[in-house]
Amino acid sequence: MDFQNFFNTSSDVDPTKKRGPHHLNLGRGLNTKRKNPGIVARMNQIDSSEHPLIRRLKGIASGKEFIHNPSDAQKIASKYGISLSKVQQGKPRTLGNKTGITIQFDPSSKKYVLTK
Residue 59: domain span: 47-115
State which amino acid sits at residue 23.
H
Residue 113: strand, helix, or coil? strand
pTM > 0.85:
no
- Residue 87 placed within a domain: yes
Distance CA 9, CA 38 (A): 48
- Residue 39 placed within a domain: no
- Residue 84 placed within a domain: yes
pLDDT of residue 50: 87
Distance CA 80, CA 66 (A): 18
- Residue 31 placed within a domain: no
Run means of pLDDT, 10 residues per run, the chain, 116 residues? 66 60 58 67 82 89 91 91 86 86 91 92
- Residue 51 placed within a domain: yes
- Residue 7 placed within a domain: no
Distance CA 93, CA 102 (A): 5
Q: What is the DSSP letter of 62?
A: S
- Residue 8 placed within a domain: no
- Residue 4 placed within a domain: no
Domain count across the chain = 1
